[in-house]
Amino acid sequence: MSDTVLSVRNVETFYGAIMALRGVSIDVNRGEIVTILGANGAGKTTLMKTICGLMDPEKGTISFLGKEISRQEPDKIVRQGISLIPEGREVFPYLTIEENLKLGAYTRKDDASDDLEMVYSYFPILKERRKQASGFLSGGQQQMLAIGRGLMAKPELMLLDEPSLGLSPLLTQEIFGIIRRLNAEQKVTMLIVEQNAHIALATAHKGYVLEMGRIVMAGDADDLANSADIQEFYLGKTEENERGQKRWKRRKTWR
Ligand SMILES: Nc1ncnc2c1ncn2[C@@H]1O[C@H](COP(=O)(O)OP(=O)(O)OP(=O)(O)O)[C@@H](O)[C@H]1O
């Protein structure tokens, strides 16, 4: 089987007349964590929605495990092994934690009870509170539940939309630590869109930078983290001239 799990080629997606994705191409290989960095409005969520069929691309192709999936219905795409952890988590607040987790396995015909225990081993707090309504969980715990629910589908690829959104730095570290372990131990391939470039590049193997609907940079996460543009525009580091003054107006070298 090919090592390429997801291949997005020259995808264009519109909201009416607004072109949100302008010829985006990315690849995700088996076992990788790939991150998409980008500011507000860059098109990150649109890319996630286009991959999992919530929006149809106007142009371009999306292949998953070697098969074309663009313009298929979202439930068909989920059944083939893509699991989206949406921005804002979207857990069912009136259902218990365990009910939410079991719902994650609805596409499976096999017994998911081993996976329930696997999820609980990564998130013991969810096991402790499994009979409680999910609406009472904190933001960080809801993120854990959303990831746990995604894992219950036993996906070939997990899409995570801004897992750090609204979380404290400490919780963000904790969640990304678990993401790293899930990738290393459970071999889950992941595509993560993030505004927090620090944590995303420290976690991912490979990254892309999306700006105004275009990929403007791509490379190994370490190389991106060391690039002057990324350091200045995404990691908040500024260069100083010989008089110690910060250079705020350096032009980006991409585009
Ligand atoms: N429902 C919509 N109708 C019209 N335009 C939209 C809609 N949703 C997003 N857009 C526009 O599409 C572009 C990409 O938005 P998108 O939400 O994908 O960005 P993002 O990188 O995910 O940003 P954020 O970090 O704020 O979620 C933006 O210019 C945005 O204004």
pLDDT tens-digit map of 133-184 = 998 888 889 999 999 999 999 999 999 999 998 888 998 999 999 999 999 9
ipTM of this predicted complex? 0.94
Please give the Cα distance from 212 to 42 (Å, whole number). Answer: 5
Residue 169 lies in a domain: no
Q: List beta partners, residue 11.
A: 24
44 lines ligand 1 (CB under 6 A): yes
Rg (CA), the chain: 19
Nearest CA to ligand 1 atom 14: 43
| Over residues 31-55, mean pLDDT | 94
Ligand 1 centroid to 170 CA: how many Å? 28
Ligand 1 centroid to 14 CA: how many Å? 10
Look up the CATH number of the domain holding residue 217. Answer: 3.40.50.300
Residue 211 lies in a domain: yes
Residue 135 lies in a domain: no
State percent of the chain over pLDDT 90.
69
Domain holding 63, by residue range, is 1-81+155-162+187-241
Residue 25 lies in a domain: yes
Q: Are 45 and 38 in contact (CB under 8 A)?
A: no
Q: pLDDT, tens digit, for every residue of 89-145?
A: 788 889 999 999 999 888 877 887 888 999 999 999 999 999 999 988 888 899 999
Nearest CA to ligand 1 atom 6: 15
Q: How many CA atoms lie within 13 A of 51 on its CB side?
A: 32
Residue 88 lies in a domain: no
Record the tokens describing residue 130, joined without a space: 């499994």
88 lines ligand 1 (CB under 6 A): no
3-state helix, strand, coil in the chain (%, to 5): 35, 25, 40
Residue 21 lies in a domain: yes
Residue 136 lies in a domain: no
The total of structural domains in the chain comes to 1
Give the number of the atom of ligand 1 that is nearest the alpha carbon of residue 87: 27
100 lines ligand 1 (CB under 6 A): no
Torsion 117-123-127-133 (CA) sign: negative
What is the best residue among 44, 55, 58, 216 to mutate for testing ligand 1's pocket, by most ligand atoms within 8 Å of CB? 44
Residue 74 lies in a domain: yes
Please give the Cα distance from 95 to 130 (Å, whole number). Answer: 10
